[in-house]
Every structure is written in structure tokens, then in C-alpha cells.
Amino acid sequence: MKDADPRMHTAEHLMSGVLVAMFGMDRPFTTHIEKKKSKADYRFGRTLTEGEAAAVEARVNELITADLPVTEEFLTPEEAASRFDLSRLPEGSGDRVRIVHCGDADVCPCIGPHVTSTRACGRFRLISWSHEDGALRVRFKLDDPTPGDPV
């Protein structure tokens, strides 16, 4: 995860925050973050409709355009466990748990790289989604950010 593309990784946080807020699903149980395109898998009982996918894409782009700060805080494992699911963190993550904030749009434990501001992500696009065996797979990519945007 530490080698993940910071723009794409931050976009995944925003997308996950939107999906959690819109549909009440849990955070993804797997992600594959690459520079060209990425995917995330969620436990969900169905696929998205075209309208729902368009609404997710629009909301993520609103959050990107809002130029939210991406910040971090560090908690003890006990403090973090009382507020977050730590099951996706690697074993032996240390005596401090890093919590990443994408403004108020998404807050979660994370070890990966991020941009400093959501505007640096560029335009977000859902490229496909599917449902199989109780899992919703969402594939997405980013267009290049506007020159001069913070990274």
C-alpha cells in the first residue's frame, strides 16, 4: 500500500466515504490501487444502478473540487480500536495508528500515501461496476489534475 499512487489512493478514500454515506455499506474489504485505474470491493447485496453510479461520481468530484485538506493524526492502538475497524491494517503496525482525514468526507486508519489536498486528485470517473457473490466491485480512474494544483 505504501507504493500506491497518492492521487488514486486519496480518490479511493473519497469514493469509499461517499459509498458508506450513500448506502450504509462498510469500507472496502479489498482494494487494488494503481496509477492508471483502480478497483475496490465492498460487501453489498446488489450492483449499482446507472443513476446511483452517476450520483457517486458527481459527489466524489464535488469533494475533489472542494479542495479539502488531507491531514493525518496518530492515535494509540487502543484509541484507534475504539473508533475504527483496524482489521485491514498490517500486523505489527506499531504503537501509533495513523488516521487519515480527507476533510470531513472520509476518516479512517491508513498506511498509504495521499495528496495534501483533494483538488490534486483530478477528475474522478467510475469506469465500471459489477456484483458477484455478495461483492460490489467498483473500478475507477482519474484524469490529470489542473496544472498548479497541490499534490
Does 78 fall in a domain? yes
Domain of residue 123, CATH code: 3.30.980.10
The answer to whether residues 33 and 5 touch, using CB atoms and an 8 Å cutoff, is yes
Does 133 fall in a domain? yes
Rounded Cα gap, residues 11 and 59, in angstroms: 12
The answer to whether residues 139 and 129 touch, using CB atoms and an 8 Å cutoff, is yes
Structurally, how many domains does the chain consist of?
1
90-147 pLDDT, tens per residue?
776 678 999 999 999 999 999 899 999 999 999 999 999 999 999 999 999 999 876 6
The range of the structural domain enclosing residue 100 comes to 6-142
Q: CA 23, 29, 32, 35 torsion: positive or negative?
A: positive
Enter the pTM of the model. 0.91
